[in-house]
Chain A
Amino acid sequence: MGKRDPRDERRGRIKYQWLLSFVVLMFVILAGRLLYLQHIRYEYYAQYAQENQLQRERIIAPRGLIKDRNGVVLVDNVPRFDIVMPWRGEEDIRRTVDHLNHFLPIDTTNVYERFKVWRKRNTGIPFPVVRNADKLVISFVRENYDRFPKLRVETNARRRYREGAVAAHLLGYVGEVNDEFLLRSSHRGYVSGDLVGKTGIEGVCESFLRGKDGQRVVAVNAAGTKLGEFNELLEPPVPGKDVTLTIDGKLQRLLEDLVRARGSGAAVVMNVEDGSILAAVSLPGFDPNSFAIGIKQAEWNALNQAEEKPLFNRFLTATYPPASTLKIVSMYAVLSNRLVPPGEALVYCTGAHRFGNRIFKCWKAWGHGYMDLHSGLVQSCDSYFYKVAERMDVDMLASACEEFGLGTRTGIDLPNEIQGLVPDRKYYDRRYGKGKWTQGLVLNNIIGQGEFLVSVLQMCRAVSAIANGGYLVRPHVVREIGGEFHGVYPRRKIRKLTGPIQNRIRRAMRDVVQSQDGTAKSSRVAALKAAGKTGTAQNPHGDDHAWFIGYAPEEDPEIAIAIIVENAGHGGSVAGPIVRKFYEEYFKEPESVEAAGPTATAVATPVAREDQ
């Protein structure tokens, strides 16, 4: 490669010397470090190596509490005992488990399965041989220390749902993480056997409720006795954050009791202004405590396969035909599209309406007589709406429903919300083919029968919009997380729900409850003006479902309610009385009125006015 520049060569030699000295220096540092560890600190490390005396103990961070809007604790933690054994080779653990099996009934296949998963994770924490041990097992392990010196009783936390089945669907439950969950990379830090929120608030707020586990390293002698803690490696746990709900525990329990008295069903009570939910009922329910302990397969099967589907969330994941409750939206569609000009002739209801060669029946077989839009809604006259529907485009109703948030998810902060179904032109074209369906479908739709499917939550939000001056709110149940307010959401204006249109609907809904002809007079409470609408949903599988939606007080609305009682019959006679009892409690008790927040004074006013 040619001649070398002597200057380059000299510079090269100097650089060589620098590099060499650097390398030697670094290696000397390493040698010094090794000498330090292996000579000066030899005794110290040798002692720890002796019998592998160090054990890692995880300090499980306490899971955050769940409270109701008044700060009453709904979900907390109580101690639970596990029998654990440190890792000293696979053989050792198998031997111990088999040996233990002679004395105590243990599901060994289950233990070995968990062991496989635990081993794969190899986190160094002791293996839990028996989880959630009962007194018998604990006392056996403590008494037979000489026989099983390696077993230890470890205290962990168990989730406790203080009110049992109350608000079970809303709170959700915790359970052991499954393998699939562990393998997802976004779930780092979870160890086999950890409890994780599965549904409801427990699931949605998992990342907040769960704290960060700590660890302590303890020195243990060969017999397994704890000698002391090793503080250099102590990592204190960080507790999870508390979650405060918008739910009022008392009202929740009250409403559940009221609905339970009439069977199964769902109900939602919502603040009309901000969409915070005060109570959300789904019945029949289940006791989440049985999940927290670690549910047994048979118990789970029973819950899962039961005819009445207790695990099914009926206010969020179930859909029902809205039936006559939809007429408030139909009325909006009629008014906003100016289908009934002022001075329109009355419709005479004979109990049936002929359209083409089909007969559409009104629920009142002997007929309502002369009806206009107002009395049509108040008395829920089907014939009147059939007549109007002859002039209505299918998409007029569909878009009105869409404006009221029916057939779309409300965006509530709970999982598994259902969308429902609002049939429109596209839907029918797809289903029956273009031009192969008739206006008759609209007649069915306008009274809330047909393909319509909505959730109780959607109906509650829709009626809130009428109550609060035309705003579609975002329903939510989480109020605070870790003490920070969390409940502000945007709301959407329903375009034409203003002025005269809104007043006419509200007047009609008031008369549903307040007038003698109204279908919901059974929900009337003395000294309180309320508004509402009943419904009776035809159920092909059994008796009709009873609907009621409404808000109160009428003049200055504060809460909206939507309720359905399954297979119970008529909305006015079944759902109405439940609402009446709820109003009586809600507006009577000063504490719960106060608790409802800033609108408390506004509530008192109409009551006082009524007294005058």
Chain B
Amino acid sequence: MRVSRDIDSLVLTTSVLLCIIGLSLIYSVFHPAQSGFSQDVDYQYFNRQLIWVCFGIVAMLIGFAVPVRYFEALAYLYYLFCVVLLVVVLFAGSGDTAQRWISIGPMRLQPSELAKIALLFVWGRVLSGHMGGMDRAKKMFASIGLLLVPFLLVLRQPDLGTAIILLVMLLPVLYWRGLRGRQIFFIISPVVAGVLIIYCGQILKHSWPFGVYIVLIFVVAYMGRSNPRESITLVVANLGVGFVGPIILNHLKPYQQSRISTFLNPESERLGAGWQVFQSKIAIGSGGLSGKGFLEGTQKALEFLPAKHTDFVFSVLGEEMGFAGALLVLVLFAVLVSRALAIAVKAKGQFASTVCIGIAAYFFFQTFINIAMVTGMAPVTGIPVPFLSYGGSSLVVSCFLVGFLLNCSVKWYEY
């Protein structure tokens, strides 16, 4: 028998609030606007999401009540299970443009969401102190290896957005488990350089962001001049990527180039992304400070907003609730993430602590990338917002992770 006290009420409150906001948004999305057409309200999505919330509550209870050591013990088994599902989805999956779902009766399961939990757990296990005989570098490589399998499978679907989430979640986890800030910077800076030079050069047709970035690299290298070898490597690596990237790109055949730019900017197809993001910006911008009012959004009703119940749900929020509503959601997520970080600090055991950092990374990146996308700051990649976007797998995973946070936050008394 386990009893607890000191449950982290902030985590619980924010997630419950976000859940409620999400449900009302999905209700609103399919509710005709005032100017309306004589069509009936489509409750189908709302009802289904309601059912998913019930599953979410169960998932949260599981995450909360099952002792952490069981999760730790089952980590690899669960990871294997997820990898199998990801392989299955490649062959038997369904989806409009990519194979992302497995249909189980009326429900659709998205294994790539489940894989996020799996990765957090196996990383927690590999990087915590239990792997006797392995030094730190080996652990790091092991965690990267564990990432690669689901990463490539998800990329194959193709689902670039989710794959990127899987990738970036690892960075804070590695940082927490021993890598220093400098080293993190070393890892990501050439990647940033590559993305900047190709993305800005090919899609935005500007190269000044890369210039600014290189200046920044020089500053960092100067600051670290006490260790000249590292500084020189840093500069050379970044400049190298900057020079070699475009050369390689220019030597590719035109169809290969367009494949790369489609890869970096998946929805850029003819008449695609620019239009979507612009419509999203109109929705958000026209919301103003206080919004048009719940159910009063006009952009959503006219089907101008694509994927308005999933990837662009935040645009509906911005339109109907205005800056006030959007800010509220931002604050709620900020609180959730910062509590997750705080719980990681005081959690008992390295496994729990590592997983909590991963959970913070999960909530942070999902939210940040999505909002950056719908406000036109990042390419359209199709990442849902936790709790707000329609979709069962994402909701259940988010609920479970909140349950796990609560589990780590409390003091358990075992009798």
A-B contact pairs, 30 of them (CB 8 A): A23-B364, A24-B338, A30-B375, A33-B372, A33-B375, A33-B377, A35-B323, A38-B285, A38-B326, A39-B289, A39-B323, A42-B286, A45-B286, A46-B285, A46-B286, A49-B286, A49-B298, A49-B299, A52-B299, A54-B282, A56-B275, A89-B37, A91-B37, A91-B38, A92-B37, A215-B271, A217-B278, A232-B278, A233-B275, A233-B278
Q: Does B387 contact A (CB under 8 A)?
A: no
Q: Which of B168-203 contact A (CB under 8 A)?
A: 172, 175-176, 181
Shortest CB-to-CB span from B405 to chain A, Å, is 15
Q: Does B76 contact A (CB under 8 A)?
A: no
Interface string of A20-47 (1 = CB under 8 A from B): 1001101100110111011101101110
For the A-B complex, the count of residue pairs with Cβ-Cβ distances under 8 Å equals: 139
Tier of interface size on chain A = 35 or more
Q: Does B39 contact A (CB under 8 A)?
A: yes
Interface-centre pick from A20, A34, A42, A217 (highest chain B CB count, 10 A):
A34
Q: Does B403 contact A (CB under 8 A)?
A: no
Known: A19-B172, A52-B298. 10 other contacts (CB 8 A): A19-B176, A27-B368, A34-B330, A37-B281, A37-B375, A38-B287, A42-B285, A87-B302, A189-B270, A212-B270
Question: Is B282 a contact of A48 with CB atoms below 8 Å?
Answer: yes
Question: Is A87 a contact of B303 with CB atoms below 8 Å?
Answer: yes
Q: Which of B4-21 contact A (CB under 8 A)?
A: none
A190 — nearest CB in chain B belongs to which residue? B270
Which of B139-147, B149-157, B232-240, B341-349 is near enough to bind chain A? B341-349
Q: How far is the CA of A31 from the CA of B323 in the complex (A)?
A: 9
Shortest CB-to-CB span from B413 to chain A, Å, is 16
Neighbouring A residues of B284 by C-beta, 8 Å: 34, 37-38, 45
Q: Does B371 contact A (CB under 8 A)?
A: yes
Shortest CB-to-CB span from B34 to chain A, Å, is 14
Of the candidates B285, B344, B345, B368, the one whose C-beta lies within 8 Å of that of A37 is B285
Interface-centre pick from B286, B289, B302, B357 (highest chain A CB count, 10 A):
B286
Question: Is A27 a contact of B334 with CB atoms below 8 Å?
Answer: yes
* Given known A-B contacts A34-B326, A39-B289, A91-B38, A18 and B181 have beta carbons under 8 A apart: yes
Q: Does B316 contact A (CB under 8 A)?
A: no
Q: Does B391 contact A (CB under 8 A)?
A: no
Question: Is A38 a contact of B323 with CB atoms below 8 Å?
Answer: yes
A42 — nearest CB in chain B belongs to which residue? B288
Interface string of A86-97 (1 = CB under 8 A from B): 011111100000
B179 — nearest CB in chain A belongs to which residue? A15
Q: Does A304 contact B (CB under 8 A)?
A: no
* Given known A-B contacts A23-B364, A30-B375, A123-B271, A38 and B289 have beta carbons under 8 A apart: yes
Q: How far is the CA of A33 from the CA of B318 in the complex (A)?
A: 12
Question: Is A15 a contact of B350 with CB atoms below 8 Å?
Answer: no
Of the candidates A27, A88, A89, A212, the one whose C-beta lies within 8 Å of that of B330 is A27
Q: Which of A74-106 contact B (CB under 8 A)?
A: 87-92
Q: Does A437 contact B (CB under 8 A)?
A: no
Q: How far is the CA of A90 from the CA of B338 in the complex (A)?
A: 46
Of the candidates B289, B323, B333, the one whose C-beta lies within 8 Å of that of A27 is B333
Shortest CB-to-CB span from A475 to chain B, Å, is 28
Q: Does A391 contact B (CB under 8 A)?
A: no
Question: Is B350 a contact of A24 with CB atoms below 8 Å?
Answer: no
Neighbouring A residues of B181 by C-beta, 8 Å: 18
Q: How far is the CA of A48 from the CA of B284 in the complex (A)?
A: 12
Q: How far is the CA of A23 from the CA of B330 in the complex (A)?
A: 11
Question: Is B275 a contact of A41 with CB atoms below 8 Å?
Answer: no
Question: Is A1 a contact of B349 with CB atoms below 8 Å?
Answer: yes
Shortest CB-to-CB span from A364 to chain B, Å, is 61
Question: Is A16 a contact of B282 with CB atoms below 8 Å?
Answer: no
Question: Is B304 a contact of A19 with CB atoms below 8 Å?
Answer: no
B262 — nearest CB in chain A belongs to which residue? A188
Question: Is B341 a contact of A19 with CB atoms below 8 Å?
Answer: yes
Shortest CB-to-CB span from B317 to chain A, Å, is 10
Q: How far is the CA of A215 from the CA of B360 in the complex (A)?
A: 42
What is the interface of chain B mostly: helix, strand, loop, or mixed?
Answer: helix
Q: How far is the CA of A124 from the CA of B285 in the complex (A)?
A: 20
Q: How far is the CA of A284 from the CA of B71 in the complex (A)?
A: 78
Neighbouring A residues of B337 by C-beta, 8 Å: 23
Q: Does B327 contact A (CB under 8 A)?
A: yes
Q: Does A225 contact B (CB under 8 A)?
A: no
Neighbouring A residues of B39 by C-beta, 8 Å: 89, 91
Q: How far is the CA of A314 from the CA of B271 in the complex (A)?
A: 42
Neighbouring A residues of B289 by C-beta, 8 Å: 38-39, 42
Question: Is A52 a contact of B304 with CB atoms below 8 Å?
Answer: yes
Question: Is B281 a contact of A45 with CB atoms below 8 Å?
Answer: yes
Neighbouring A residues of B322 by C-beta, 8 Å: 38
Q: Does A226 contact B (CB under 8 A)?
A: no
Question: Is A49 a contact of B282 with CB atoms below 8 Å?
Answer: yes
Q: Does B269 contact A (CB under 8 A)?
A: yes
B348 — nearest CB in chain A belongs to which residue? A1
Q: Does A12 contact B (CB under 8 A)?
A: yes
Q: Does A213 contact B (CB under 8 A)?
A: yes
Question: Is B271 a contact of A58 with CB atoms below 8 Å?
Answer: yes
Interface string of A123-158 (1 = CB under 8 A from B): 111000000000000000000000000000000000
Neighbouring B residues of A23 by C-beta, 8 Å: 334, 337-338, 341, 360, 364
Of the candidates A1, A19, A217, the one whose C-beta lies within 8 Å of that of B360 is A19
Q: Does B274 contact A (CB under 8 A)?
A: yes
Shortest CB-to-CB span from A58 to chain B, Å, is 7
Q: Does B283 contact A (CB under 8 A)?
A: yes
Q: Which of A54-85 contact B (CB under 8 A)?
A: 54, 56, 58
Interface string of B315-335 (1 = CB under 8 A from A): 000110011001100100110
A89 — nearest CB in chain B belongs to which residue? B37
* Given known A-B contacts A19-B172, A23-B334, A31 and B271 have beta carbons under 8 A apart: no
Shortest CB-to-CB span from A135 to chain B, Å, is 30
Neighbouring B residues of A212 by C-beta, 8 Å: 270
Neighbouring A residues of B281 by C-beta, 8 Å: 37, 45
Q: How far is the CA of A445 from the CA of B39 in the complex (A)?
A: 74
Q: Does A426 contact B (CB under 8 A)?
A: no
Q: How far is the CA of A26 from the CA of B168 in the complex (A)?
A: 15
Of the candidates A12, A34, A122, A217, the one whose C-beta lies within 8 Å of that of B323 is A34
Q: How far is the CA of A46 from the CA of B290 in the complex (A)?
A: 13
* Given known A-B contacts A41-B285, A124-B304, A16 and B342 have beta carbons under 8 A apart: yes
Of the candidates B302, B318, B368, B371, the one whose C-beta lies within 8 Å of that of A52 is B302
Of the candidates A12, A30, A213, the one whose C-beta lies within 8 Å of that of B270 is A213
Shortest CB-to-CB span from B89 to chain A, Å, is 18
Question: Is A16 a contact of B345 with CB atoms below 8 Å?
Answer: yes
Q: Does A13 contact B (CB under 8 A)?
A: yes
A87 — nearest CB in chain B belongs to which residue? B303
Interface-centre pick from B270, B326, B377 (highest chain A CB count, 10 A):
B270
Shortest CB-to-CB span from B322 to chain A, Å, is 6
* Given known A-B contacts A52-B298, A52-B302, A44 and B285 have beta carbons under 8 A apart: yes
* Given known A-B contacts A15-B176, A33-B377, A124-B275, A26 and B368 have beta carbons under 8 A apart: yes
Question: Is A16 a contact of B323 with CB atoms below 8 Å?
Answer: no
Shortest Cβ-Cβ A-B pairs, 5 listed: A45-B285, A49-B286, A1-B349, A38-B323, A37-B285
Interface string of B297-311 (1 = CB under 8 A from A): 011001110100000
